[in-house]
Amino acid sequence: MKRYLLLLVIVCCVSHTLCGQTEDTKSKKKRKKNQERIAMAILKHRFSFKAGLFNERLVDETFSGILFQGVLPKYTLGYKHKKLRIELQSSTPNLDKTNIDFDNTFFPSTLLDAHLKIGLSKTFELDFTYGAKLNLGGQLHSQLMVLNYDNFDSGSWLTAQRLDVTARLEKHLRTRKEQWVHLDVSYPLFALASRPAYAGIDNFLVENSDDILKILYSRNDFYSGIGLVNPELTLTYFYKPVNYHDYTTFAEKLMLHLSLHYEYLYINSVKPLSRNSFGIELGLTYLWFK
Amino acid sequence: MKKSIILTFTASLLLMMACLKNKELVEDTPTSIFEYVWNDFDQHYGGFEQRNVDWDAVYTQFAPRVNDNISDIELWNVLTEMMDLLDDQHVAITDTKTGKGFASGKLNDELLAEREFDLELIKTSYLAEDYQTLDSDGEDFVYGTIEGENIGYIHFPNFEEDVWQLEFDNVIAELSTTDGLIVDDRNNGGGIPLSARFASGRFAQTKELAFNVQSKNGPGPNDFDEKSPYYMEPQGAQQYTKPIVALCNHSTVSAGEEFLLYLKTQEHIQIVGDSTSNALATPTFKRMLPNAWHYQLPTQLYTVADGSSPEGIGIVPDVYLRNDTLNVQAGLDEVLEFGVELLK
């Protein structure tokens, strides 16, 4: 985690250096020309991939009364077309391999964390945002979280099918190179979620011990308001290393990005779960023009 | 503008870091651990009434011995003595640093009962030479016939899923020509309830209610969910419905006891031996403590058709008979011999 914080600082410094250069008349003309070229092309699809490390801290009262923490690698695939946005994020899906060693305890455990988000949003241009655009919308959000200690000697889970409201503030930075900053916020309106029963293991689990999907996706309860608190905040910096020219080379269709992600999750089930997640991600986006 | 972006990044980073706090329910102090464990049992354990244990009185008895200055050993002694009052092998605690473990009710009669049974003695002195062995989680599932008699013999060491299950219908078919069957459930260490049901169904003649299970669904002593009924009913390609004598002892535990609850419903099955361990309810997930100990407790309640519960008593045999440890060492299994006589 320390290495990534250091990397963040370096990237911030680099961006500061880039941003700090004085734009002369020549570069202004060049930029204007680029903008004209961009206007001629229509962005059809965006494909993205992100990889990051997330510092996870959680207390799941079904799993344990003690705090678990560890660093979890996550991978995200994204697709965007007009107002539609699809995002699939997961830590490793194989529970047999330890993907998170909680380092403050004697109980090395695994955490599988996966999300599928399908969102729609509408763009507004607002005067008070200094040229930034505001996107408002919603997303269907399917979440799967499974905690496992020692081949389920202890375990817990959260599966949720949610409707979230989303907002994005995006700002195009006017410099020699194309740069953007996005601030994404989301919050759940309601969810149908499945959590372990009061006693952790009950008859339903014993009877369905060979049908993990039935355990994870049956017996849903409705959560909303203070029963489900899950603000997510993502700050992303996009940088385009090669300016648009004629939209033919691979390099000019690529964007690099760096994201900071913070999420707090509290679900007030019969045994509450609270989780803090802070992550840093690096990624690539491929732009597909018509 | 540019500076403000960097400031936003930095401020966001600091804000996020500052927010990373979660509240632990138990701290690494003897007092906190004792309170956490006592409360956990108070709110989740399913069989206090059936075991005649007043858990509030237990608190009064043990809490004065706990303060933040006591040693690990003293805390271990308090917790294990407290748990031992429940006489329930599904109540257990382990120190993961040293591997030291404790199971309630195991120290005295359970260990003694284990010595009242010797599978090697049965193989060498009682079974015909062509007996077969299958694997069951590293232990021997043994079947064959009693030497000189047309009586079959099966020993279930546990009810874990393994090779024996794949072959079990063939075992029943092989033994179908015998006149009677010894089903030896002694020293059965338990396993998966589904496996116990799988095996018992091969001995079923009629469908009967075997028992009901309820799980705790709230902190109150009577907060249980609806009864889930479990039935003994014929399963498998064929069933063995000739006379059966099932043998049990005080080391017949958990799924081994559940197996007997199924067998007890059938007219053609007699149970001979000692009362069982009385650890029926499935233990819940292990609870982890900040001092690297973990423990488990059962959160269910078993009742039979008349509303009574085998918790605290175990499965009571139709004929009470125990082996003498010294006789076993001398090569005699009186319980098995009695079972064979019943089948003759």
- pLDDT tens for A226-281 read 999 999 999 999 998 887 766 677 777 889 999 999 999 999 999 999 999 999 99
Interface membership of B341 toward A (CB under 8 Å)? no
B205 in Cβ contact with B268 (< 8 Å): yes
Confidence class for position B18, pLDDT limits 50, 70, 90: low
Q: How many CB pairs under 8 A join A and B?
A: 144
* pLDDT value at B142 more than 80: yes
Interface membership of B270 toward A (CB under 8 Å)? no
Contact yes or no for A107 and B8 at CB 8 A: no
Rg (CA), chain A: 22
A107 min Cα distance to partner chain B (Å): 8
Average confidence (pLDDT) over A77-95: 79
- pLDDT tens for B74-112 read 999 999 999 999 999 999 999 988 999 999 987 766 677
Structure tokens at B343: 């089948």
Q: What pLDDT sits at residue A111?
A: 86
Confidence class for position B255, pLDDT limits 50, 70, 90: very high
Contact yes or no for B286 and A150 at CB 8 A: yes
Confidence class for position A96, pLDDT limits 50, 70, 90: very low
* pLDDT value at A99 more than 90: no
Which of B71 and B114 is assigned the larger pLDDT? B71
Average confidence (pLDDT) over B66-76: 97
Spatial strand order in the sheet of B244-248: B132-136, B139-145, B151-155, B180-184, B244-248, B269-273, B319-320
B342 min Cα distance to partner chain A (Å): 36
Restricting to B residues 224-253, those with a Cβ less than 8 Å away from any Cβ of A are 225, 228
**What are the sequence ranges of the domains in chain B?**
30-103, 111-285+298-343
B225 in Cβ contact with B151 (< 8 Å): no
Structure tokens at B258: 């559940």
Average confidence (pLDDT) over A111-138: 85
Report chain B residues whose CB lies below 8 A from the CB of A20: 2
Report chain B residues whose CB lies below 8 A from the CB of A23: none
Report chain B residues whose CB lies below 8 A from the CB of A199: 44, 215-217, 284, 299-300
Contact yes or no for A63 and B285 at CB 8 A: yes
Contact yes or no for A278 and B300 at CB 8 A: no
- pLDDT tens for B152-181 read 999 999 999 888 989 999 999 999 999 999
Report chain B residues whose CB lies below 8 A from the CB of A57: 20-22
Report chain A residues whose CB lies below 8 A from the CB of B218: 198
Average confidence (pLDDT) over B203-223: 95
Report chain B residues whose CB lies below 8 A from the CB of A107: 96, 288, 292, 294
Report chain B residues whose CB lies below 8 A from the CB of A16: 2-3, 6
Q: Which of A21, A174, A198 to mutate to test the interface with B (most CBs of B within 10 A)?
A: A198
B15 in Cβ contact with B7 (< 8 Å): no
Q: What pLDDT sits at residue B123?
A: 97
Interface membership of B18 toward A (CB under 8 Å)? no
User: By three-state DSSP, how is residue A215 classified?
Assistant: helix
Average confidence (pLDDT) over B217-222: 93
Q: Sort strands B92-95 and A68-81 into parallel, antiparallel or unpaired.
A: unpaired
Confidence class for position B24, pLDDT limits 50, 70, 90: confident
Q: Which of B2, B16, B284 lies nearest to residue A200, judging by beta carbons?
A: B284
Q: What pLDDT sits at residue A128?
A: 64
Q: Which of B7, B284, B300 to mutate to test the interface with A (most CBs of A within 10 A)?
A: B284
Report chain A residues whose CB lies below 8 A from the CB of B97: 106
Q: Sort strands A43-60 and A273-289 into parallel, antiparallel or unpaired.
A: antiparallel
Q: What's the number of CA atoms in the CB half-sphere (13 Å) around residue A288? A: 9
Q: What pLDDT sits at residue B294?
A: 94
* pLDDT value at A98 more than 50: no
B263 in Cβ contact with B248 (< 8 Å): no
- pLDDT tens for A29-46 read 666 666 655 555 677 898
Fold of B30-103: Transcription Regulator spoIIAA (3.30.750)
Average confidence (pLDDT) over A108-130: 83
Fold of B111-285+298-343: 2-enoyl-CoA Hydratase; Chain A, domain 1 (3.90.226)
Report chain A residues whose CB lies below 8 A from the CB of B284: 199-201
CB atoms within 10 A of CB A2: 6
* pLDDT value at A290 more than 50: yes
Confidence class for position A282, pLDDT limits 50, 70, 90: very high
| Whether complex ipTM tops 0.90 | no
Q: What pLDDT sits at residue B52?
A: 94
Average confidence (pLDDT) over A108-121: 90
- pLDDT tens for B320-340 read 999 999 999 999 999 999 999
Q: Which domains does chain A have, with CATH numbers?
A: 49-289 (2.40.128)
Contact yes or no for A203 and B20 at CB 8 A: no
Q: Which of B21, B96, B288 to mutate to test the interface with A (most CBs of A within 10 A)?
A: B288
Q: What pLDDT sits at residue B97?
A: 87
Confidence class for position A18, pLDDT limits 50, 70, 90: very low
Contact yes or no for B22 and A12 at CB 8 A: no
Q: What pLDDT sits at residue A3?
A: 47
Fold equal for B30-103 and B111-285+298-343:
no
- pLDDT tens for A148-207 read 888 888 899 999 999 999 999 988 887 777 888 999 999 999 999 999 999 888 889 888
Place of tokens 């748990």: B83
* pLDDT value at B15 more than 80: no
Most confident segment among B16-30, B109-123, B202-216: B202-216
CB atoms within 10 A of CB A280: 21
Structure tokens at B60: 């009064």
Q: What pLDDT sits at residue B119?
A: 96
* pLDDT value at B200 more than 60: yes
List Cα–Cα distances, B262 to A24, A251, B212, B231, in angstroms.
89, 71, 11, 7
